[in-house]
Chain A
Amino acid sequence: MTDSESLSRPEPVADEVSAAYWAGAREHRLTIMRCSACGFFVHPPRGVCPRCQGEGLVPEQVSGRGKVYSYHVMHLPGVPGFTPPYGVAVIELDEQPGLLTVGNVLDCPLEELSIGMPVQVTFEDLSESVTLPQWTRGPE
Chain B
Amino acid sequence: MSGGVEPYSMRDKSAIVGVGHTGCVKDAGVASEVMWMRAVREALDDAGLRPRDIDGISTPYTDTWPMGAVPTPFTLTESLGLPGLRWHSGPLGGAYSLGSVASAALAVSTGQCDTALAVHCMVRPKRKGPTAYNYKGAQRASGVYAHLAPYGYSVFVQMMATVARRLLDTNGLAREHLARLVVDQRSNALLNPLAVMKDPLTVEQYLSARWLAEPLGLYDADMPVDAAIAVVITRSDRAGDCRRTPVLVRHVSTFLGPRPDWVFQADYGELFPVELGRDFWRRAGIEPGDLSFAQIQDGFSVYVPMWLEALGIVKRGEAGGFIGDGNLARGGVLPTNTHGGNLSEGRMQGGGAVVETVRQLRGEAGERQVDRPSVGLITVGGSPTVCAALLHV
User: Is chain B found bound to chain A in the same assembly?
Assistant: yes
Do A126 and B152 form a contact, CB below 8 Å, given A13-B140, A76-B157? no
Determine whether B153 belongs to the interface, using a CB cutoff of 8 Å to chain A.
Answer: yes
Do A7 and B146 form a contact, CB below 8 Å, given A74-B152, A104-B152? no
**Residues of B in contact with A, size category:** 35 or more
How does the 8 Å CB contact mask read for A2-25 relative to B, with 1 for contact and 0 for none? 111001111111110010000000
Q: Interface of B with A (CB < 8 Å)? A: 129-131, 133-135, 137-155, 157-158, 161-166, 169-170, 210-216, 263-268
Q: How far is the CA of A103 from the CA of B148 in the complex (A)?
A: 8
How does the 8 Å CB contact mask read for A72-84 relative to B, with 1 for contact and 0 for none? 1111111111100
Q: B169's contact among A79, A82, A115, by CB below 8 Å, is which? A: A115
Task: Return B317 CB to nearest CB of chain A, in Å.
Answer: 15
Determine whether A56 belongs to the interface, using a CB cutoff of 8 Å to chain B.
Answer: no
Q: How far is the CA of A100 from the CA of B210 in the complex (A)?
A: 29
Q: How far is the CA of A74 from the CA of B268 in the complex (A)?
A: 19
Determine whether A58 belongs to the interface, using a CB cutoff of 8 Å to chain B.
Answer: no
Chain A residues whose C-beta falls within 8 Å of the C-beta of B155 in the assembled complex: 74, 76, 78-79
B264 adjacent to A132 (CB under 8 Å): no
Q: Across the two chains, which residue of chain B brings its CB closest to A96?
A: B266
Interface size of A in residues (CB-CB distance below 8 Å):
45
Q: Which of A70, A77, A85 has the most CB of B within 10 A?
A: A70
Task: Return A1 CB to nearest CB of chain B, in Å.
Answer: 13
Chain A residues whose C-beta falls within 8 Å of the C-beta of B142 in the assembled complex: 12-13, 15
B158 adjacent to A72 (CB under 8 Å): yes
A8 adjacent to B139 (CB under 8 Å): yes
A90 adjacent to B162 (CB under 8 Å): yes
Task: Return B131 CB to nearest CB of chain A, in Å.
Answer: 7
B149 adjacent to A79 (CB under 8 Å): yes
A75 adjacent to B210 (CB under 8 Å): yes
Chain B residues whose C-beta falls within 8 Å of the C-beta of A81 in the assembled complex: 152
Q: How far is the CA of A13 from the CA of B147 in the complex (A)?
A: 9
A13 adjacent to B152 (CB under 8 Å): no
B134 adjacent to A78 (CB under 8 Å): yes
